[in-house]
Structures are given as C-alpha cells and as structure tokens.
Amino acid sequence: MKVAKNFKTLMQKREVTLIILIVILTAVVTFRAPGFIKINNISRILNDTSILMIVAIGQFFVILTGGIDLSVGSIIAFSGMAASMMNQYNPALPVVLVLLAGIVIGAVLGAINGVLVTFGKVPPIITTLGTMSIYRGFTFVLSRGQWVTAHEMSENYMNIPHGHFIGISNLIWSAVIVVVLTYYFSKYTRSGREVYAIGGNKTAAHFVGVSKPKVDMIIFSLSGLLCGLAGVMWTARYAAAVNETAAGFELQTVAACVLGGVSVAGGSGGIPGVVLGALFLGIINNALPVVNLSPFFQMFIQGVVVLLAMFVNTLMGKRQEKSVLKRRCS
C-alpha cells in the first residue's frame, strides 16, 4: 500500500516538477521582461506550442511502443506543401476540404511507415530515417523547388489557425481537441491500452492476444495524421509553404516526450507529461530573445535539455529499481 502511494507521488512528481519549472521559468523571464506574461505574449506562446504539442503526441505513442518516428518533420512538410498547393491552384475549394486532405495525406504517409514496420519488418529507426528523406525529397518534387507564399494563399486558408472561437484561436482549439481525444484514446480504449502493453512487454502482450502489427499500424498512422494536421496549421500560420518546413522538428517532439517523463525504452509515460513537456520547450524558445540569446541558440539548448531530461529519467529509473530490490530482500 505504502509502495503504491510512494510511487504515485513519484509519478505525479514529473508533472508537478514540470509545472513548478514552468512557473519558475516564467517568473524569471517576467522579472527581466515584464511583457512576457501579457495576454498577447501568452497567446503567442500557446499558439507556437500548439503545433509542437500535436506532433509530440503522435511521437509519444510511437515512443511508447519502443519505436521512434524520425519522419515527422518531412510529413509535416509534404502534407503542408500539398495542402497549400491545393489551395493555391483551387482557391475556391472549401478550406475544410483542404484541411481534411492535408490530414489524410499525413495519415497515408504515416501508414506507409506502419506498413514497412509491420509487414516489411524494418525497424522503426531505419524506416523513418529512410522515409524522412524520401518524403522530404518528394516535397521538392511536388513543389518543383518552389515556395507557396502568402499572396498565393487564400485568406480562408490562412485563417484556419488564426480564426477565433470565444477569443481562442483555432490552432489552440485544435491542440486542445487533439489532447482530449488522444488522452481518451490512451486511457479509455482497448487499443490505447494495447500500445502500453506492446511497449511494456511484447511477449506478455502476445499471450493476452494483443496484436503488434495492429498497434504499430495505429500508432504510425496516428503520428502521420497528426503531422498532416500540423502541416496545414504550420503553412497557414506562417503563411508560407517551403521545402524545408519543420526540418529537425523530430528532435523537438522527442524532447517534449522525454521532458514529459516518457521512457525512451517504451512502456511508460502519459499525455499530460507530453503536453507539459511541449509547453516547457515552447516557453524556453520564446524566452530566448527576452534573455538576449539569438534564436540560433535554440538548437543547442534543445540538445542540452533533452540530454538532461533523459539523464534524469534514467537515474530515477535506476533508483526505483534498486529500492524495489531492497524491499524484496528486507
């Protein structure tokens, strides 16, 4: 009983730690630049973070099974480019359809990863390392190396993320919806729990009839689908579809997961942690200019943050293991 309680507090600790860190970080930055917590800036941070959150959640499910999806940036670029070009060439097409098309394209690209992993037996790292460059290459092929810029996009398209509903942008709303739905999926559906099962113990999962191919197909398609959504949001928000869109984004999504306490070895972690992890990263990125660091530092800092977070996760995992052994013996 005590064990359970101890652990529960520990488990909550990661989320609590993150919240505390976020508060401290915000306080420090605000102290230097009082404008940091103005409504405008907060809404900018949330908007900036929403896309990361959406994609990180897809990444989370893949990592949960012990895999990794390195192709997220390229899927975002391809589906974003495809959606933008649809809009560019058919400005009359309802943007809802364009949005849907972007999502579907993302899901299909994700499903291709899934097929390679499940039926091709190609490990996730290799699959997504390969498709990362394949999808990126096809983005160039599709765009013939050209950009889609603001004046080639319709007003409606650019309004997909910018539009408001009770004072909150559609982009934030979409992140909220994704968070709620995926949380429900991960907690209250059999398939969601099966993702945990596969990541936790493949053999045991097999014994209770959990199908690894099915789970792999679901998570890679889901990751792709969320990237598709993110692709449309990204191009519309920044009013540009370029070939390099979201290059290197995979690291940020992994970072959000690792920060959120997701074990890179698979089997443990939760949506709330990932959301907070993404938020934390978003605040750091936004705080850089405030503390007079050029945006060029972003990459460096992200590397440090991920390494640190992983380090902490590993040490905590080790300590727990030890204490269990101790209990068993005394």
Partner 1 sequence: MSDTVLKLENITKFFPGIKALDGIHLNIRPGEVHALIGENGAGKSTLVKILTGVYFPTSGKISYKGEDVSFKTAIEAQEAGITAIHQEASMFPELSVTENIYMGHHLKGGKIGALSWRQMKKQTASLLNRMELDINPDTLVKNLGVAQRHMVEIAKALSIDADVVIMDEPTSALTLREVEDLYKIVRQLKAEGKAIIFISHKFDEIFEICDYFTVLRDGKYIGEGRVADHNIDEIVTMMVGRSLDQMYPKSDVEKGDEILKLDNLSSDGVFKNISFNLCRGEILGFFGLVGAGRTEVMRAIFGIDKITSGDLTLRGKRFRPHSAKDAMRQQIAYVPEDRQSQGVILEMSIAKNITLPQIDDLSTFGFLHSKKEKEISVEYGSMMEIKAASWNVDADTLSGGNQQKVVLAKWLSTKPEILILDEPTKGIDVATKAAVHKFVSDLASKGLAVIMVSSELPEILGMSDRVIVMHEGEITAEYSRDEADSDRIIRAATGHAWAEGS
Partner 2 sequence: MGVTTHNNNSLVETSRFINETGLKERFGKLIIQWEVILVLMFLFEIILFSNISPYFLDYFNLMNATFTFMEKAILALPMIFVIMSGDIDISVAAIIALCSFSMGYAAAAGVGAAGLVVTGLAVGTAAGAFNGFFITRFGMPAIAVTLASSSLFRGVSQAVLEDQAYTKYPDAFAYFGQGYVGDSVIPFELLLFVILATVMGYILHKTTYGRKLYAIGNSESAARFSGVRVNRIRMMNFMLNGLFAGISAVLLTSRIGSTRPNIALGFELEAITLVVLGGVSISGGKGNIFGVVLAVFFIGYLKFGMGLMMLSAKVMIITTGLLLIIAVLLPGVLDTIKGRRKLARQQME
Residue 168 DSSP class: E
Count Cβ atoms within 10 A of the Cβ of residue 287 and give its class: 0-12 exposed, 13-18 middle, 19 or more buried: buried
Cα gap 165→168, rounded to integer Å: 5
Burial 164-179 (b: 16+ CB within 10 A, else e): eeeeebbbbbbbeebb
197 binds partner 1 (CB under 8 A): yes
Positive or negative CA dihedral for 132, 134, 139, 145?
Answer: positive
8 binds partner 1 (CB under 8 A): yes
193 binds partner 1 (CB under 8 A): yes
9 binds partner 1 (CB under 8 A): no
Q: Which is nearer to partner 1, 162 or 212 (CB)?
A: 212
Tokens in use for 205?
A: 């999962």
Cα gap 206→203, rounded to integer Å: 5
- Contacting partner 1 within 10-29 (CB under 8 A): none
- Cβ partners under 8 Å of residue 291, min gap 6: 29, 32
Site string for partner 1, 129-168 (x = CB under 8 A): ----------------------------------------
CB 160 within 8 A of CB 232: yes
Cα gap 176→198, rounded to integer Å: 27
Site string for partner 2, 103-142 (x = CB under 8 A): -------------x---xxxx-xxx-xxxxxx-xxx-xx-
318 binds partner 1 (CB under 8 A): no
Stretches 116-124, 189-197, 243-251, 277-285: which one binds partner 1 (CB under 8 A)? 189-197
Count of residues of this chain found to bind partner 2 when the rule CB under 8 A is applied: 45
Q: Which is nearer to partner 1, 166 or 208 (CB)?
A: 208
Single out the residue of 121, 144, 151, 190 in contact with partner 1 (rule: CB under 8 A). Answer: 190
- Contacting partner 1 within 255-294 (CB under 8 A): 263, 267-268
**Cβ 318 to partner 1, closest distance in Å?**
13
Q: Which is nearer to partner 2, 121 or 326 (CB)?
A: 121
- Contacting partner 2 within 192-251 (CB under 8 A): 248, 250-251
Stretches 52-60, 90-98, 159-167, 317-325: which one binds partner 1 (CB under 8 A)? 317-325
What are 148's strand-pairing partners? 241
207 binds partner 1 (CB under 8 A): yes
Closest C-alpha among 293, 186, 181, 220 to residue 67: 220
Helix or strand run (H / E) with residue 169: strand 168-169
Tokens in use for 317?
A: 């995992």
Contacts with partner 2 by CB under 8 A lie at 68, 116, 120-123, 125-127, 129-134, 136-138, 140-141, 145, 248, 250-251, 254-255, 258, 264-265, 294, 296-304, 306-307, 310-311, 314-315
